[in-house]
């Protein structure tokens, strides 16, 4: 079984949809589900290393690292922001992906979750 989780909400959004998505992904991986997480739109900044990360973002970063240790793939989608950012600040364990990659992953997934 494979899930694709698309996180596009602001990590600071009311209700914590990004946090819930990352926690759901970790639980699914721990339960034997293969998971691919895509960071897009407002969630893209989570793909970057930031020395001034707040407490809430540190929780997100810890969950992302936990997911990777468990074998989940983490991707970031959206080239328009990449040209404006220092590519060297991109977390090296997060892969840059295109919309084509996202669509292909969604096609082969048993479950697609968007938050």
Whole-structure pTM value = 0.88
Residue 17 to residue 95: CA distance in whole angstroms: 22
Report domain extents, the chain. Answer: 2-114
- Please report the pLDDT score of residue 90 as a whole number: 77
Residue 91 to residue 53: CA distance in whole angstroms: 13
Which pLDDT tens digit goes with each residue over 55-92?
A: 777 888 889 999 999 989 999 997 655 555 555 577 77
CATH hierarchy code of domain 2-114:
3.40.1260.10
- Please report the pLDDT score of residue 45 as a whole number: 86
Q: If you count DSSP H runs as helices and E runs as strands, how many of each does the chain have, helices first? A: 4, 5
């Amino acid at each position: 079984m494979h899930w694709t989780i698309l996180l596009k909400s602001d990590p600071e959004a009311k209700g914590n949809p990004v946090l819930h998505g990352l926690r759901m992904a970790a639980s699914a991986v721990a339960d034997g589900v293969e998971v691919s997480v895509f960071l897009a739109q407002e969630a893209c900044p989570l793909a970057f290393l930031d020395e001034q990360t707040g407490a809430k973002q540190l929780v997100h970063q810890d969950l992302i690292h936990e997911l990777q240790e468990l074998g989940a793939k983490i991707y970031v989608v959206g080239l328009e922001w990449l040209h404006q950012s220092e590519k060297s600040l991109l977390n090296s364990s997060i892969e840059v992906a295109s919309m084509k990659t996202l669509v292909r992953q969604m096609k082969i997934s048993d479950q697609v979750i968007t938050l």
